[in-house]
Chain A
Amino acid sequence: MPLAAQSADLRAAVLRVDYPSLAPISRFEEVPEDLGFAGAELAMEDNATTGAFLGHNYQLETVSAPPEEAEAALGRILAEGIEAVVVLAHGDDLLKLADSAGPGVLILNAGARGTSLRSQDCRANVLHVTPSTAMLADAVVQFAAWKKWTRLYMIRGSHPEDKELADAYRRAAARFGARIVEEREFEDTGGSRRTDTGHVLVQRQLPVFTEGAKKHDVVIAADASDVFAPYLPFHLWDPRPVMGSAGLRPVTFHAAHEAWGATQFQRRFEALTGRYIREEDYDTWLALRVLGEAVTRTGSADAGEMRGYILSDAFELAAFKGQKVTFRRWNGQLRQPILLFDGRITASVSPQEGFLHQNSPLDTLGLDAPESQCDAFQGG
């Protein structure tokens, strides 16, 4: 059928909460000022190109705020009549924002990976585009299991986020027939992350720290804030591959990914921004493409109608990952393949061959319907 010119205007915002943070462990990872916003801009360009053929208009607002001003910033966004907001924030702030936004607003989570947000702490007005910690840990352990490297030596940090990460790896090990044969905590004693010739000390300390572990095939690093994990490869007592927070890392996207037509996407992003893409940019791009797809197919930019379509069987979206991405109706989580990245290339992509699920192999990653305690989405 020819497309009738329907008018729909999507006004969306990206709210990024900026936290005080240490300098990154590597100069390669300096945080760009337009982190996330750059992905949003590209998504809106992509949406607008499609919209031009359909009479749909797209408007984007990007706002950054420190945590203490985040709610006020959201208030100002909503006061302008914007009903769809992509949020890049920690889990606790995401929940505060979702609760203050109310049920008429659609929040897309592009930054918070806490698994509980997809379970007991879920909210009906929040869709999770970024994967959960559980999905990422499952992606790593599934690969280890496919390799038959099932004896895991887990080294975790001392922060609450590290413990949550360690829990996810324990759960993943139990799901895929691996075993954590040894677990140690690497305590963060503070101080600078980068010092001149700091590697001299690390080279002496880490072998001693890791020595004497039970027989293992692989070391799993659970270090959410880059305190020690990047030093593990090459400094272990036993020569073993490292996965998780260093070595082979689970990511939604990286700037070297080229499969499934991603090259064109990378070039579009680089032409627009003059830099390489980061996960936050991809997650934000994807969140706004989800909204754009809903507007394209329904001809409506109403938050409720978009949410209904996004959670329906009809919704599907191509995301440069070789298969369509869709949403889990039990907790609003986007199903997606996870890339396993060694720092330069895509080494593998999970789910791995042979891990099956009655619904979709993608549901072998993260919380399946019976595992999620989320009841805000009714039924699923």
Chain B
Amino acid sequence: MRRLLLTAALVAGGCPALANKIFVSNERGNTISVIDSESWEKIAEFPAGNRPRGITISPDGKHVYVCASDDNLVRVFDADTYEELPSLPSGPDPELFVLHPSGNPLYIANEDDNLVTVTDVHTRQILAEVPVGVEPEGMGISPDARFVVNTSETTNMAHFIDTADYQIKYNVLVDQRPRYAEYSKDGTKLFVTAEIGGTVSVIEIGDDDTPDLVHKIAFEVPGVLPEWLQPVGARITSDGKWLFVALGPANRVAVVDAATYEVKDYIMVGQRVWQMAFTPDEKYLITTNGNSNDVTVIDVAAQKALRSIPVGQQPWGVAVQPDQ
């Protein structure tokens, strides 16, 4: 408790921190809300096409990429001016994507066509289309960028795609409706959430790249029907110690010890918590709350919700600009 107070005091004291822009896609509002990470105020909101969902930002912090699902393309915006730049081809109904750590290419899940589309963000050409399972959704990339992982919601698998030749090298069956794939920063573990299965599968990556399903994390909250504990977004701290899991309609984020896989706590956030992103210093975790039209700011060290900030209608995804 003393440590928590100390942390809170430091935050309140306004220790020098860089302000970062937080971009939130609003699925129903068809906009992007921009929040300043120092004042925690919404500073802008701009149109982003039809049904913006997945959102990410280039490593240099200059370009915001948005899956405009109903426009069947990826829209690109200037992170400073919010001006729209030429769009990227994505294949039909893009929902989630992941950017190569170098900033290129973009790996996009096409829910309608059982494909992962690989798009060069500079030439705006499609480099490859990789057939995967039914309803591809979650996208993760290994820290060394050798594997892209796609999860397919009806096939219930994590597909490991080799980024060198775009071939699927491994498939791991997980629980029903896998939504998101998150690697630990050292690349030794992959966490896959299953919305309907209600679990997070822990997959260890061997020295020879072989994935091994070693554990399934389950959740339990007194007074909440088990049916509503639906894991969606997931984020792990860089030190590999803490895994945060958004539990959708349970309106909570689970805090999991990433070494023992024990659930340590549940943080109450807004309604239908969906995706999450850390600030670059990992002091804060921002969650999108689709049914309360706000985001919650979580103090990562204290594992407590600090505040909620109203955004547009039905916030879905969130990306934080790197330090400039």
Contacts and interface: CB of A to CB of B under 8 A. Distances in A.
Interface of A: 1-3, 46, 49-50, 53-54, 261, 264, 267-268, 296-297, 316-318, 323-324, 360-361
Contacts of B210: 2
A53 B196 contact: no
Nearest to B171: A53
Contacts of B154: 46, 50, 318
Interface stretch (B54-62, B155-163, B234-242, B258-266): B155-163
Interface of B: 93, 111-112, 114, 133-135, 152-157, 159, 168, 170-173, 175-177, 195-198, 210-213, 225, 227
Contacts of A297: 173
A360 B155 CA distance: 25
A49 B114 CA distance: 9
Given A46-B154, A53-B155, A316 B176 contact: yes
A46, A261, A361: residue with the most chain B Cβ atoms closer than 10 Å: A261
B133 A50 contact: yes
A323 B171 CA distance: 24
Nearest to B248: A322
B112 A54 contact: no
Contact of B155 (A1, A50, A264, A268): A50
B189 to A, nearest CB: 15
A54 B177 CA distance: 18
Central interface residue in A49, A50, A264, A360, by most chain B CB within 10 Å: A264
Contact of A324 (B134, B152, B197): B197
Contacts of A360: 227
A261 B176 contact: no
A273 B160 CA distance: 32
B236 to A, nearest CB: 22
B103 to A, nearest CB: 29
Q: Which 4 A-B pairs have the closest CB atoms?
A: A318-B196, A50-B155, A318-B176, A323-B227
Nearest to B168: A53
Nearest to B249: A322
Contacts of A3: 171-173
A267 B93 CA distance: 11
Contact of B196 (A2, A49, A324): A324
A361 B227 CA distance: 9
Given A49-B114, A316-B196, A361-B227, A261 B153 contact: yes
Contact of B211 (A2, A50, A53, A267): A2
A268 B114 CA distance: 10
Contact of B112 (A2, A46, A264, A324): A264
A317 B197 CA distance: 8
B197 A267 contact: no
Given A53-B155, A296-B156, A316-B176, A264 B135 contact: yes
Contacts of B173: 3, 296-297
B134 A49 contact: yes
Contacts of B111: 261, 264
B170 A2 contact: yes
A46 B136 CA distance: 12
17 contacts: A1-B172, A2-B171, A49-B133, A49-B134, A49-B155, A50-B152, A50-B155, A53-B168, A261-B111, A261-B153, A264-B93, A296-B173, A316-B175, A316-B197, A318-B154, A323-B227, A324-B198
Contacts of A50: 133-134, 152, 154-157
Given A50-B157, A267-B112, A1 B212 contact: yes
A268 B196 CA distance: 20
Contacts of A324: 176, 196-198, 227
A322 B229 CA distance: 11
Given A46-B154, A261-B153, A264-B111, A53 B133 contact: yes
A324 B155 CA distance: 14
A2 B176 contact: no
Contacts of A267: 93, 112
Contacts of A53: 133, 155, 157, 159, 168, 171
Contacts of B176: 316-318, 324
A50 B136 CA distance: 12
A267 B92 CA distance: 11
Nearest to B92: A267
A54 B133 CA distance: 11
A97 B294 CA distance: 55
